[in-house]
Amino acid sequence: MAYRVLGRAGPPQPRRARRLLFAFTLSLSCTYLCYSFLCCCDDLGRSRLLGAPRCLRGPSAGGQKLLQKSRPCDPPGPPPSATAAAAAVPASRLSGANHSGSPRLGTKRLPQALIVGVKKGGTRAVLEFIRVHPDVRALGTEPHFFDRNYGRGLDWYRSLMPRTLESQITLEKTPSYFVTQEAPRRIFNMSRDTKLIVVVRNPVTRAISDYTQTLSKKPDIPTFEGLSFRNRSLGLVDVSWNAIRIGMYALHLESWLQYFPLAQIHFVSGERLITDPAGEMGRVQDFLGIKRFITDKHFYFNKTKGFPCLKKTQSSLLPRCLGKSKGRTHVQIDPEVIDQLREFYRPYNIKFYETVGQDFRWE
């Protein structure tokens, strides 16, 4: 029986209750979906499927309970995985450092200067001394490009060189170039502006030093006297022996002057390099057009070796001397043999002095 009380609503109808329940359920579902979307995607839109961490970015109070297991987002920046990867990479790779630890800067260039000779004249000392200069980068080994490896091409030659800045000079040393007939032309074809350094020494002393080095490797070779002369009683020197022929400086210089002016060739005295290394290296620096950075403060005389050595520097905790093969005691030679060789070299020496305008006082 229907009844109605004035001023009071009757009991709710079943259909209306279902509509209210459906609306509440739908509202709750939408809220859950919205917050789920916020939790599954970070600020760059990376979804959980791509491995992005689930985080909460300032939810409202109503959603805090629903998302109470979500951690706070990290501050803006690279993802943790990228940071860890960067930390795992060695600093040398990140900075492009070379083997010495300094930044890998500059370009590999063909050398602007060459130490072309002579063997056993003091070329290694000049190379080691000039490498102290910050404006010079030098190849430590002898590439023998212009005598033995010319067929490999200039690209191969360039690849051997150290990296240099625009303000630095690239330099290499191969003493055999000076006595190689093709070397002047080949170097000229590379660059006619190449600066050439020749370290010369008393040719008799140089020949004895050359022989001493060979003897240390081949103990069964003939005597120095036997190799030096075709006929000692007649004073006929064997110029086919390389140790003798190298010391005929005036002869070899003729080939170089066909391609390079004398002003482009600097001659270092091997004797003065021992007695006054700072003075000789000062002239080398002037020739290369760089400031006199290498001075007396860089050297001390090693009495054991009989040669000047480099003092320790900031980059080296110990003094630096030439290797064991340098400064070895020469074999004893008959004084008469030495006198005969001095007479042989005399005309070549005089012509050499006149050509270069410098008296080395070897007589």
* Residues that constitute the known binding site: 120-124, 201, 209, 326-330
Provide the 10 A C-beta neighbour count for residue 98.
Answer: 14
Name the residues annotated as catalytic. Answer: 120
Distance CA 71, CA 74 (A): 9
- Residue 148 one-letter amino acid: R
- For 187-217, give the DSSP string: HHHH-TT-EEEEEE--HHHHHHHHHHHHHHH
- Residue 186 one-letter amino acid: R
Q: What are phi and psi of 236, to 5 degrees?
A: -85, 110
Sign of CA dihedral 7, 13, 16, 22: positive
Distance CA 165, CA 107 (A): 7
Cβ atoms of 132 and 297 within 8 Å: the answer is no
> Given the DSSP bridges, would you call strands 55-56 and 71-72 parallel, antiparallel or unpaired?
parallel
Annotated binding site for 3'-phosphoadenylyl sulfate: 120-124, 201, 209, 326-330
Largest CA distance in the chain: 159
Cβ atoms of 298 and 130 within 8 Å: the answer is no
